[in-house]
Amino acid sequence: MKPSIPKGTRDFLPSEVYKRNFIFETIRSVFKKYGYQPIETPTMENLTTLTGKYGEEGDKLLFKVLNNDMFMEMAMAIDKLDKIGKEKVIIEMTSRGIPQAAAEGVLDLLNIETLPDLEKAFQNAPTGLKGIEELKEFHAYLDLTSTSNKIKFDISLARGLNYYTGCIFEVEADTEAYPNLRMGSIAGGGRYDNLTEVFGLSGVSGVGVSFGAERIYDVMEEEKLFPEGVEKDLDVLLIAFDDASHKYAFKAVQQLRDSNIIADLYPAPTKMKKQMKYANARQVPFVILIGSNEMESGVLTLKNMTTGEQFNLTIEAIIEKLFTR
């Protein structure tokens, strides 16, 4: 039998799990501080939910349910601006039934970079001016925040899923601080006022954001942003040389754990060389060596695996030393 995992899934090994957990724990703690409540939903979706409503192709169906007008047709075409360029977007817009002049006019608007310029362009368009009022209100709140993120207004931003009814946003890694990054957006979302209506619950609005876990991981890895010790695994490994000292060490390893030191005992008193090889593979900073002499005297050998230094100490003194380093 060939080992395999389901299509679309993958395994994560320890060093990845430590780093992924750091990312998720950071996100979770910020959400918690902001008073969000957690729910857990299945990681799978009914196929009908996705294909019938808002799968990659299905979003075409969804926006027809929600908002069957030309704005959505345009938004979907504009979403591709980065990828296919201005000319092809105009072709796509006209093929969706939007007049050539309107398509070009919209793309001209997308070159506008500030709210005042946009206000000028919309001076005869009451709906446009109302939108600008809302954006000003929104930015008035943003201006009150002390966030270290740089917030940039971008009228050309569009997103693939068209259930949004208000602001949309994307988060990009800070390419000023990290000029070598070419990562695109690492999170994105927006406001939707009618989404739950599709499932029979109307009048519940929301703002949602999804994080690109893999991209955040890659950015942090590339720029060495994970804190030191995030992969910290094992504080100390105990190595015993015979059956009697193995039992002695079994008791000692518990004393270490009771002091919240991450400790393990090599499972059998095999050859020292084999046990030290494992200690090196686990990159453990300290080992404790226990033979019959150590067992009788109660004075154990603590070895610093980085410097090679050895210390003869009782288990209590070792706990003191490992705890206060």
Closer residue to a copy of itself in complex, CB, 143/309: 143
Cα separation, 165 vs 187, in Å, equals 18
Among residues 124, 141, 228, 308, which is the contact residue for a copy of itself, using CB under 8 A?
Answer: 141
| Binding residues with a copy of itself: total (CB under 8 A) | 56
x/- binding map, residues 75-94, to a copy of itself, per CB under 8 A?
--------------------
Cα separation, 246 vs 113, in Å, equals 71
Among residues 17, 125, 204, 230, which is the contact residue for a copy of itself, using CB under 8 A?
Answer: 17
Binding of residue 179 to a copy of itself (CB under 8 A): no
Cα separation, 324 vs 317, in Å, equals 11
Contact 132, 122 (CB under 8 A): yes
Amino acid at 172: E
- Least spacing, CB of residue 231 vs a copy of itself, in Å: 10
Binding of residue 309 to a copy of itself (CB under 8 A): no
In the sheet that 263-265 helps form, which strands lie side by side, from edge to edge?
Answer: 263-265, 236-240, 286-290, 300-304, 310-313
Among residues 27, 61, 109, 234, which is the contact residue for a copy of itself, using CB under 8 A?
Answer: 234
- Has 54 been labeled as part of a binding site? no
The sign of the torsion formed by the CA atoms of 197, 201, 206, 208 equals negative
Closer residue to a copy of itself in complex, CB, 100/254: 254
Binding of residue 323 to a copy of itself (CB under 8 A): no
Site residues (CB under 8 A) for a copy of itself, limited to 152-171: none
Tokens at residue 98, please?
């939007």
Binding of residue 136 to a copy of itself (CB under 8 A): no
Closer residue to a copy of itself in complex, CB, 4/127: 4
Closest by CA to 170, choosing from 156, 186, 194, 149, is 186
What's 226's DSSP letter? S
- What is the per-residue DSSP string for 140-156? HHHTT---SSPP---TT
Closest by CA to 190, choosing from 211, 213, 165, is 165
Binding of residue 24 to a copy of itself (CB under 8 A): no
Binding of residue 177 to a copy of itself (CB under 8 A): no
Binding of residue 144 to a copy of itself (CB under 8 A): yes
Site residues (CB under 8 A) for a copy of itself, limited to 37-66: 37-46, 52-53
Cα separation, 130 vs 154, in Å, equals 17
Tokens at residue 261, please?
């030191």
Site residues (CB under 8 A) for a copy of itself, limited to 181-200: 198-200
Interface with a copy of itself (CB under 8 A): 1-6, 9-14, 16-18, 20-21, 32-35, 37-46, 52-53, 140-141, 144-146, 198-201, 233-234, 237, 247, 250-251, 254, 257-258, 260-264
Which residues are documented as binding site for L-histidine?
Answer: 159, 163-164
